[in-house]
Amino acid sequence: MDRLRVGEHIGGYRITGHVIDGTYRAVDARGRRVVIELAPRDGWRDAAIHMLRAERVAAAIQHPGIARILERGALADGRPWLATEVPSGIGLDDLIARRRLPGVEVMTLVRDVADVLAHAHAHGIVHRALTLRSIVLATGPRDYAISISDWGLLAETGVYAAPETRTGIVDGRADVYSLGVIAYRAVTQELPSDLGIDDVPGVSAGLATLIARMLARVVDERPTAAEVRALANELLDTGAEHAIDNVIADATREAAEAANAAPELISFAEDTEPNADDIIHAAGPRFGKPKWTPNPDFQITSERAPLATGEIDKKN
């Protein structure tokens, strides 16, 4: 059977749940949560190449906002597997399913994600699969406020994919488009129209303009990740910086209220696979300024030139 069952072991990890085909939740002996990606029986050699590329991408970028690949191995039948850390925190998809995010949270989120993307793009790496599920907002001790996973993922990202991805020729601005979709959805809990947007309801004019620019259908009208980071920082510095402490306080209070109200929290480490509707998240996002500053040697001078995307090309 291709699909692993809850309670089975792979390497030093125990399977605790199923995410999508070939991807599982698991824990190690210390209770550390990971995501296990297992190659299918058919075509596992192609999957092995993808996993090796993903590992090299993570190693090359070296940013605290990128989920670390902890271990890789192979089953007796030759199928490779990869274990990626799951930082303590709440998935952005879970958070947005519960509530819309206010403008200051979205600006901070955009700034932090753009910071990671800008660093990756400076190394010639384009994510190409950025979605809500790729982003975790850290709530435990960590050097960075977010963690981005799914680097090198061979998957179709649908509405999050930039229009130019259909041609196969992309640069870092494809990731900026995906971030624009994420920001729009964070504000409205809806997806932007395929025809583009004229307005983003419920946010300041500055943030609405930034999101609209990120969602430009024409690549050259879209800012780079480094420009997005600078623009989001400017918005925070000029009008919303004072509100960040209130956001952190609200998130802490929400976490405490959820913990007090919940008779029992469902853990990923349980032997039974939890229903997503039953999972109670007792932690809110922790936003703050990045504690990491890119090495000056890796600062972006231009993102207009095509980037090397061979590391993470997905199958069409």
Q: What is the mean pLDDT of the chain?
A: 75
- Predicted local distance difference test score (pLDDT) of residue 299: 38
Greater model confidence, 253 or 215: 215
In the chain, what percentage of residues exceed pLDDT 70? 69
**What confidence category does residue 142 fall into, taking pLDDT thresholds of 50, 70 and 90?**
low
In the predicted model, is pLDDT for residue 201 greater than 70? yes
- Tokens 């990606």 correspond to 37
- Whole-angstrom distance, CA of residue 229 vs CA of residue 227: 5
pLDDT tens readout for residues 206-233 = 999 999 999 999 999 999 999 999 999 9
- Ordered domains of the chain (ranges, CATH): 9-85 (3.30.200.20), 89-242+286-298 (1.10.510.10)
Planar angle of CA 191, 195, 224, nearest 5 degrees:
75
At residue 214, the pLDDT reads 96
- pLDDT tens sequence across 157-186: 688 999 998 887 889 999 999 999 999 999
More confidently predicted of 176 and 42: 176
Q: Is 37 exposed, middle or buried (0-12, 13-18, 19+ CB in 10 A)?
A: buried
What is the rounded CA–CA span in Å between residue 161 and residue 205?
Answer: 25
Maximal CA-CA distance, the chain: 58
206: which 2 tokens?
A: 């500055």
Of 268 and 120, more confident? 120
Lowest mean pLDDT among 9-13, 49-53, 90-94: 49-53
- In the predicted model, is pLDDT for residue 310 greater than 60? no
For strands 23-27 and 13-20, give the pairing.
antiparallel
Q: Check residue 196 and give its pLDDT.
A: 57
Euclidean distance between CA atoms 217 and 222, whole angstroms: 8
Within a 13 Å sphere around the CA of 152, how many CA atoms are in the beta-carbon half? 26
Q: Is 86 left (phi over 0), alpha (psi -120 to 50) or beta?
A: beta
One-letter amino acid for residue 129 of the chain: A
Full strand arrangement of the beta sheet holding 89-91: 89-91, 135-138, 146-148
pLDDT, tens only, 255-267: 555 545 444 333 3
Q: What is the pLDDT of residue 271?
A: 39
How many whole angstroms separate alpha carbon 244 and alpha carbon 250? Answer: 10
Nearest CA-CA partner of 105 in 258, 288, 281 = 288
3-state secondary structure the chain: CCCCCCCCEECCEEEEEEEECCEEEEECCCCCEEEEEECCCCCHHHHHHHHHHHHHHHHHHCCCCECCEEEEEECCCCCEEEEEECCCEEEHHHHHHHCCCCHHHHHHHHHHHHHHHHHHHHCCCCCCCCCHHHEEEECCCCCCCEEECCCCCCCCCHHHCCHHHHCCCCCCHHHHHHHHHHHHHHHHCCCCCCCCCCCCCCCCHHHHHHHHHHCCCCHHHCCCHHHHHHHHHHHHHHHHHHHHHHHHHHHHHHHHHHHHHCCCCCCCCCCCCCCHHHCCCCCCCCCCCCCCCCCHHHCCCCCCCCCCCCCCCCCC
pLDDT band at 53; cut points 50, 70, 90: confident
Q: Give yes or no for residue 125 having a pLDDT over 50.
A: yes
